Amino acid sequence: MNFHTHVCLVSAQATPNLAPALDATLKPKRMVLVTSPDMQRQSDALAAVLKQHGIKVERLGIADAYDYPAIEDSLLEWVSMHDTEDVALNLTGGTKLMAMAAQAVFGSAGKPMFYVNADSDDLIFLDRRDLRHHLDGRIKLRDYLGAHGYALPEAVQRPEIRANLRDQIM
């Protein structure tokens, strides 16, 4: 179930791409982020967190997230160049047209595909009906915020509350 490479469709929701990448059972060595121009900032934020965890990041740029034939052509070219590699597609992100094109390409190539149910933290394999994986769901706050483009200071400052004020509050 551990794949060398995850191909992910970048969208505003970083968690469904991040969670499988940080799961101990599924952690890939490489992630390919399929990114449209309007998702470049999200792709950069996700890539930064992945690199901090030792995951190599590559980009597959697409010019228009709503141009099905062009998305399909880009993915076909990528899959044909990486046909013998251990690759799985994460279908959770991207636009619906990106997901449909990716599913068509990866399905015809016989590559594994999965979807992350964010409500249950289950990873559902589309090509293996009997296989599911419950994600460990332990994403650190720093990674979660970083993947969404936010940063925490290195040392979090906790406010000092005088004892008499603390006692009044409690």
pLDDT 10s digits, 111-146: 999 999 988 889 999 877 667 788 886 788 888 888
Using CA of residue 60, residue 54, residue 125, residue 128, what is the dihedral sign? positive
Q: What percent of the chain has pLDDT over 70?
A: 92
DSSP code at position 156: P
Can you tell me the distance from the alpha carbon of 113 to that of 57, in angstroms, rounded to the nearest whole number?
19
pTM (two decimals): 0.85
Distance in angstroms (rounded) separating the CA atoms of residues 17 and 35: 13
Distances from the Cα of 150 to the Cα of 8, 62, 69, 91, 159, angstroms: 20, 25, 34, 24, 21
Cα gap 147→71, rounded to integer Å: 24
| Mean pLDDT lowest among 28-37, 45-54, 55-64, 147-156 | 147-156
* Burial (0-12, 13-18, 19+ Cβ within 10 Å), 63: exposed
pLDDT of 24 strictly over 60 = yes
CA 11 to chain centre: 9
More confident site: 60 or 157: 60
